[in-house]
Amino acid sequence: MGEIFSIYGMIIVEFLCELLVFCAMLLQPLKRSKGFWWKFSLSLLILFAAGIPAAVFYRYFGENVFGRIAVYLFLFALVILLALWRYEASFYHILFCCTLGYAAQNLVYKLFLIFWTAGESFRIFDAWGGNFALFYRLVYYSFFLACAAAAYFLLIRGIVKKLSACKLDYRMLAIAVFVLGVTILLCSFEDIYFARLSVERENRFENPDYVILRQTGNIFSAVCCVIVYLLASKTIVADELGREVEDLKYAIRQSEEQYRISKETIDLINIKCHDIRYKLQILAAEGTPSMEDLEKSISIYDSRIETGSPLLNVLLTEKSLFCEQNSINLSCMIDGGKLGFIEEGDLYCLFGNLVDNALEAVKSIKEPERRVIDLVVKSKDGLLLVQESNYFDGELTFEDGLPVTTKGDKDHHGFGMRSLRLIARKYGGELTAFASGDVFHLTIIFGNPQSASC
């Protein structure tokens, strides 16, 4: 009975605590079900109660590889089932999080074995004498806490930030589960057979070849756990890129519709303004008092920005109306004829986002002389350059070469700049951005527009 309680306390409980720490980190962003905290408390009671029969089973079958695997898989499956009870998430999301949690637990365990086996091979722990068990636990727990913190900041935190919105790639999930399963199988073989080869205490070997084999197995298992995280990161990055592409396609469809509506609206306004001006001229010819103020008020609607691109004419004329109403100086020097290689929807989305981002920055500036946006499209040395610059207030932070939005909803408001880069790259171009003092500069360079693929 004493041996069973020793197994329960030193093996089962330790394993569950380590696994739960990492699972809690990864399950954190998922939506909690109603009554989460009482479910959480009851889950702990169920888990640690289930650990008692697991310890009994381990006592009689733990020296068998498949018996040991059965114990750990039973506890792992129970953790998954109880997590499904506590969170309003799909089975695949829960499985994904718990698989990553198990991989992190196994990674930390294997890193400790690498450290410990190396220490035993150099006999650096012999000085502990009668306090060996106490020092071993202190070193183990300290090592675990340090590695758990490192694993969170290096592996887990980046995944957790994007996990709740991620749509899983089930093939990647299957591969991750498979790699973890192979790792657990190998670990069980290693732990059992190297324990039999140990002298005096576990992971201490007289034969140097055993040390090399043990460390090789430990390193291989650790690498497998890292591979699980690389696969998880790839899944999340692929999903994020897929969502960005879908958002971009939607934005382009919306841009095409907006272009059609804007063109019809501006054409209609111009027709009406021409009619009104004609009637004013008739009234003036008949001796009606001057209506210069009225003519001036409607002249804004009759002005058009000419770029050589019908689409940009409509878009920039529309934006210029907003600028006029908000005392913003929009300066355009655009050779729009050179942008013919870009599809209309992409072109509207590209310049629409470009100007909208600039308007967002300058409209809150108080000084009239700084409420300026410069937009240039020109050829230079065989390259086509799209350049935009504007003043801004405050500070800009850049991430991955793009300014980070200051708005709270970063997933949606940050999309404008990302869409600019996606469109630029679609046509073989590249986008760069930087801030110089209180001026923001953005440049898109197209290397060979005539051969760009759409």
Confidence (pLDDT) at 46: 96
Same domain, 356 and 240: no
Judge whether 295 lies within some domain: no
Same domain, 191 and 43: yes
Judge whether 286 lies within some domain: no
Which of 246, 270, 292 is where one domain is finished?
246
Judge whether 299 lies within some domain: no
Same domain, 223 and 83: yes
Confidence (pLDDT) at 234: 79
pLDDT per position as a tens digit, 340-352: 899 888 888 889 8
Taking CB atoms within 8 Å and a gap of at least 24, the contacts of 423-430 are: 423/248, 423/342, 423/346, 423/349, 423/350, 424/350, 426/346, 426/453, 426/454, 427/341, 427/342, 427/346, 427/452, 427/453, 427/454, 428/452, 428/453
Instruction: Reply yes or no on whether the pLDDT at 451 is more than 50.
Output: no
Same domain, 176 and 316: no
Confidence band of 3 (pLDDT split at 50, 70, 90): confident
* Spatial contact of 112 and 140, defined as CB atoms under 8 Å apart: yes
Confidence (pLDDT) at 414: 41
Other Cβ atoms within 10 Å of 351 Cβ, number: 28
Confidence (pLDDT) at 376: 94
Domain with residue 404: its CATH number is 3.30.565.10
Judge whether 260 lies within some domain: no
* Ramachandran bin of 327, using left for φ above 0, alpha for ψ from -120 to 50, beta for the remaining angles: left
pLDDT per position as a tens digit, 125-170: 988 888 888 999 999 999 999 999 999 999 898 888 777 666 666 7
State the total domains in the chain: 2
Instruction: Reply yes or no on whether the pLDDT at 215 is more than 70.
Output: yes
Same domain, 89 and 167: yes
Same domain, 310 and 184: no
Other Cβ atoms within 10 Å of 76 Cβ, number: 21
What whole-number distance in Å separates Cα of residue 348 and Cα of residue 346?
A: 6
Same domain, 98 and 206: yes
Overall average pLDDT of the 82-100 stretch: 90
Confidence (pLDDT) at 346: 85
Same domain, 59 and 158: yes
Same domain, 230 and 338: no
Judge whether 60 lies within some domain: yes
The rounded mean pLDDT for the chain is 83
Identify the domain containing residue 40 by its residue range: 2-246
Judge whether 321 lies within some domain: yes
Pairwise pLDDT comparison (305 vs 71), residue with the higher score: 71
Pairwise pLDDT comparison (331 vs 302), residue with the higher score: 331
Instruction: Reply yes or no on whether the pLDDT at 411 is more than 50.
Output: no
| Both structure tokens of 391 | 């003043």
Same domain, 125 and 231: yes
Confidence (pLDDT) at 12: 94
Which of 229, 246, 263 is where one domain is finished?
246
Amino acid at 412: H
- pLDDT more than 90, % of the chain: 38
pLDDT per position as a tens digit, 166-175: 666 677 678 7
Where in 359-428 does DSSP place strands (E)? 372-380, 383-391, 398-399, 402-403
Same domain, 241 and 350: no
| Both structure tokens of 140 | 């183990």
| Both structure tokens of 9 | 């306390």
Pairwise pLDDT comparison (241 vs 402), residue with the higher score: 402
Confidence band of 308 (pLDDT split at 50, 70, 90): confident
Overall average pLDDT of the 98-109 stretch: 93
* Spatial contact of 43 and 82, defined as CB atoms under 8 Å apart: yes
Which of 223, 246, 269 is where one domain is finished?
246
Same domain, 100 and 188: yes
What whole-number distance in Å separates Cα of residue 348 and Cα of residue 342?
A: 10
* Spatial contact of 222 and 111, defined as CB atoms under 8 Å apart: yes
Judge whether 251 lies within some domain: no
| Both structure tokens of 321 | 């109306």
Integer angstrom CA distances of residue 157 from 25, 143, 203: 8, 20, 33
E strand or H helix at 303, and its extent?
none
E strand or H helix at 48, and its extent?
helix 36-61
Judge whether 240 lies within some domain: yes
Q: What is the pTM of this model?
A: 0.65
